[in-house]
Amino acid sequence: MQIHNLYVDDTGETHFRDIEIEWAHDGPGGKMSERLPATGIIFRETAATYDLDWHPAPRRQYIVNLDAGVEITASDGERRIIGAGEVILVEDVTGKGHLSRAVSAQIRRSIFIPIE
């Protein structure tokens, strides 16, 4: 299973990469990874007109889109649409940050899972 990752390099530029989630257990209930650390859960609803200028992430966290996507632009220029059901680990808590905007003029419900 792959998830998106937004990270910052030593010069403050943000970039995307993909992270492969390794399966640690395979049984009758399906495949599972090892337990990963988390410090809470935040539910969020974002307007269909959401368009946020350059900003760093407020904390390291996983974001799980439930019912709509978001377009994120890294400071290196790469854009990705993180669709419904996809996961992104945002780690650009310093540096230039990223742009975020709604896609398809849809309200987006998501879950933030802080890891620090």
| Segment 11-24 mean pLDDT | 97
Q: Mapping DSSP to helix (H, G, I), strand (E, B) and coil, where does residue 22 land?
A: coil
- The predicted pLDDT at position 46 comes to 96
Q: How far is CA 113 from CA 42, 61, 97, in A?
A: 6, 5, 19
Identify the band that residue 66 occupies on the pLDDT scale cut at 50, 70 and 90: very high
d(CA 6, CA 12): 12
Domain boundaries, the chain: 2-114
For range 70-97, the mean pLDDT: 97
Q: Is the pLDDT of residue 76 over 90?
A: yes
Confidence of residue 116 (pLDDT cuts 50, 70, 90): confident
Q: What gap in Å lies between CA 20 and CA 111, rounded to an integer?
A: 20
Strand partners, 101: 51, 71
The pTM score is: 0.94
Mean pLDDT across 47-63: 97
Q: Would you tell me how many other CB atoms lie within 10 Å of the CB of residue 107? A: 13
| pLDDT tier at 49, thresholds 50, 70, 90 | very high
Residue 113 pLDDT: 98
Mean pLDDT computed over 81-105: 96
Q: Which of 54, 56, 62 is nearest to 116 (CA)?
A: 62
Using the structure block, give the residue that is written with the tokens 């439930």. Answer: 66
Strand partners, 6: 16, 90
Structure tokens at 63: 């974001």
What fold is seen in the domain 2-114? Jelly Rolls (2.60.120)
